[in-house]
Chains A and B, each alone.
Chain A
Amino acid sequence: MNVSVKPGKLIKGQTGDWEVVIGMEVHAQVTSKSKLFSGASTEFGGEPNSHVSLVDAAMPGMLPVINEECVRQAVRTGLGLNAKINLRSVFDRKNYFYPDSPQGYQISQYKSPIVGEGEVVVELDGGKTATIGIERLHLEQDAGKLLHDQSPTMSYVDFNRCGVALMEIVSKPDIRDAEQAKAYVTKLRSILRYLGTCDGDMEKGSLRADVNVSVRKPGGPLGTRCEIKNMNSINFIGQAIEYEARRQIEIIEDGGTIDQETRLFDPNKGETRSMRSKEEAHDYRYFPDPDLLPLEFTQDYVDDLKAHLPELPDQKKARFIESLGLSSYDAGVLVAERESAVFYETVLEDLADKGRDGKLAANWVINELFGRLNKEGHGIVDSPVSPAQLAAIVSLIGEGTISGKIAKDLFEIVWTEGGDPRELVETRGMKQVTDLGAIEKVVDDIIAANPDKVAQAKAKPQLAGWFVGQVMKQSGGKANPQAVNDLLKAKLGI
Chain B
Amino acid sequence: MTDLTSLTIAEAREGLASKSFTSLELTDAHLGAMEAARSLNAFVLETPDQARAMARAIDAKIAKGEGGPLAGIPLGIKDLFATKDVRTTACSKILGNFVPPYESTVTSQLWRDGAVMLGKLNNDEFAMGSSNETSCFGPVVNPWRREGSNTTLVPGGSSGGSASAVAALLCMGATATDTGGSIRQPAAFTATVGVKPTYGRCSRWGIVAFASSLDQAGPIARTVRDSAILMRSMAGHDPKDTTSVDIAVPDYEAAIGRSVKGMKIGIPKEYRLDGMPAEIEKLWTEGAAWLKAAGAELVEVSLPHTKYALPAYYIVAPAEASSNLARYDGVRYGLRVPGRSIGELYENTRAEGFGDEVRRRVMIGTYVLSAGYYDAYYLRAQKVRTLIKKDFENCFAKGVNAILTPATPSAAFGVGEKGADPVEMYLNDIFTVTVNMAGLPGIAVPAGKDAQGLPLGLQLIGRPFDEETLFSLGEIVEQAAGRFTPPRWW
A residues near B, CB below 8 A? 54, 57-66, 93, 95, 97-99, 102-105, 155, 157, 283, 285-287, 290-293
If A65-B242, A102-B332, A105-B326 touch, does A60 touch B98 (CB 8 Å cutoff)?
Answer: yes
Contact of B100 with A65 in the complex, beta carbons under 8 Å = no
Contact of B332 with A285 in the complex, beta carbons under 8 Å = no
List the B side residues contacting A95 at CB < 8 Å.
322-323, 326, 369
A57 to B102, CA, bound (A): 13
If A59-B100, A59-B102, A95-B326 touch, does A291 touch B243 (CB 8 Å cutoff)?
Answer: yes
Q: B432 CB to closest chain A CB, in angstroms? A: 19
Output the nearest chain B residue to A104 by Cβ-Cβ distance. B326
Output the nearest chain A residue to B378 by Cβ-Cβ distance. A287
Tell me the chain B residues, 74-118 only, with Cβ under 8 Å from chain A.
Answer: 81-82, 88, 90, 95, 98, 100-102, 104
List the A side residues contacting B369 at CB < 8 Å.
95, 285-287
Contact of A293 with B243 in the complex, beta carbons under 8 Å = yes
Contact of B326 with A65 in the complex, beta carbons under 8 Å = no
Q: A57-B332, A61-B209 are in contact. List 7 more A-B contacts (CB 8 A).
A: A60-B327, A61-B205, A95-B323, A102-B331, A104-B323, A104-B326, A291-B212
Contact of B326 with A290 in the complex, beta carbons under 8 Å = no
User: Which of B206, B242, B371 contacts A66, CB < 8 Å?
Assistant: B242
A15 to B325, CA, bound (A): 54
Contact of B378 with A65 in the complex, beta carbons under 8 Å = no
A252 to B346, CA, bound (A): 41
Output the nearest chain B residue to A58 by Cβ-Cβ distance. B327
Most chain A beta-carbon contacts within 10 A, residue among B319, B329, B370 = B329
User: Which of A58, A63, A97, A98 contacts B241, CB < 8 Å?
Assistant: A63
Contact of A105 with B323 in the complex, beta carbons under 8 Å = yes
List the A side residues contacting B323 at CB < 8 Å.
93, 95, 104-105, 285, 287
How many interface residues does B have (CB within 8 Å)? 44
- A–B Cβ pairs within 8 angstroms, 21 of them: A54-B101, A58-B327, A58-B332, A59-B333, A60-B90, A60-B95, A60-B100, A60-B209, A61-B204, A61-B208, A64-B242, A65-B241, A102-B332, A104-B329, A105-B323, A283-B370, A283-B371, A285-B322, A286-B369, A287-B369, A290-B212
A119 to B98, CA, bound (A): 50
List the B side residues contacting A66 at CB < 8 Å.
242
If A61-B205, A61-B206, A95-B369 touch, does A102 touch B327 (CB 8 Å cutoff)?
Answer: yes
Give the 4 A-B CB pairs with smallest separation, nearest first. Answer: A104-B326, A290-B212, A290-B213, A285-B369
Tell me the chain B residues, 324-338 only, with Cβ under 8 Å from chain A.
Answer: 325-327, 329, 331-333
Contact of B205 with A287 in the complex, beta carbons under 8 Å = no
List the A side residues contacting B226 at CB < 8 Å.
none
B residues near A, CB below 8 A? 81-82, 88, 90, 95, 98, 100-102, 104, 204-209, 211-213, 239-243, 319-320, 322-323, 325-327, 329, 331-333, 342-343, 346, 366, 369-371, 374, 378
List the A side residues contacting B239 at CB < 8 Å.
65
Most chain B beta-carbon contacts within 10 A, residue among A59, A64, A66, A98 = A59
List the A side residues contacting B100 at CB < 8 Å.
59-61
Q: B245 CB to closest chain A CB, in angstroms? A: 10
Contact of A103 with B327 in the complex, beta carbons under 8 Å = yes
Contact of A60 with B331 in the complex, beta carbons under 8 Å = no
A372 to B217, CA, bound (A): 68
Contact of A63 with B242 in the complex, beta carbons under 8 Å = yes
List the A side residues contacting B327 at CB < 8 Å.
58, 60, 102-104
A54 to B366, CA, bound (A): 26
Q: A296 CB to closest chain B CB, in angstroms? A: 12
A52 to B371, CA, bound (A): 33
List the B side residues contacting A61 at CB < 8 Å.
81-82, 100, 104, 204-209
Contact of B102 with A54 in the complex, beta carbons under 8 Å = yes
A142 to B240, CA, bound (A): 21
Output the nearest chain A residue to B366 by Cβ-Cβ distance. A285
A93 to B243, CA, bound (A): 16
Q: A88 CB to closest chain B CB, in angstroms? A: 15
Contact of B331 with A292 in the complex, beta carbons under 8 Å = no
Q: B152 CB to closest chain A CB, in angstroms? A: 31
List the B side residues contacting A293 at CB < 8 Å.
242-243
Q: B216 CB to closest chain A CB, in angstroms? A: 12
If A61-B206, A285-B323 touch, does A97 touch B346 (CB 8 Å cutoff)?
Answer: yes
Q: A371 CB to closest chain B CB, in angstroms? A: 52
A254 to B380, CA, bound (A): 48
List the A side residues contacting B346 at CB < 8 Å.
97
Contact of A103 with B326 in the complex, beta carbons under 8 Å = yes
List the A side residues contacting B204 at CB < 8 Å.
61, 63
Contact of B331 with A157 in the complex, beta carbons under 8 Å = yes
Output the nearest chain A residue to B320 by Cβ-Cβ distance. A290
If A54-B102, A93-B323 touch, does A285 touch B240 (CB 8 Å cutoff)?
Answer: no
Q: A364 CB to closest chain B CB, in angstroms? A: 54
List the A side residues contacting B240 at CB < 8 Å.
63, 65
List the B side residues contacting A155 at CB < 8 Å.
342
List the B side residues contacting A104 at CB < 8 Å.
323, 325-327, 329
Contact of B370 with A60 in the complex, beta carbons under 8 Å = no
A63 to B238, CA, bound (A): 11
A177 to B239, CA, bound (A): 49
Q: A412 CB to closest chain B CB, in angstroms? A: 60
Output the nearest chain B residue to A99 by Cβ-Cβ distance. B331
A97 to B345, CA, bound (A): 11
List the B side residues contacting A292 at CB < 8 Å.
242-243
A433 to B329, CA, bound (A): 82
Most chain B beta-carbon contacts within 10 A, residue among A58, A93, A103 = A58
A283 to B329, CA, bound (A): 18
A54 to B82, CA, bound (A): 12
A64 to B324, CA, bound (A): 13
Output the nearest chain B residue to A292 by Cβ-Cβ distance. B242
A66 to B239, CA, bound (A): 11
If A59-B102, A102-B331, A104-B327 touch, does A287 touch B319 (CB 8 Å cutoff)?
Answer: yes
A58 to B369, CA, bound (A): 21
User: Which of A62, A65, A99 contacts B342, CB < 8 Å?
Assistant: A99
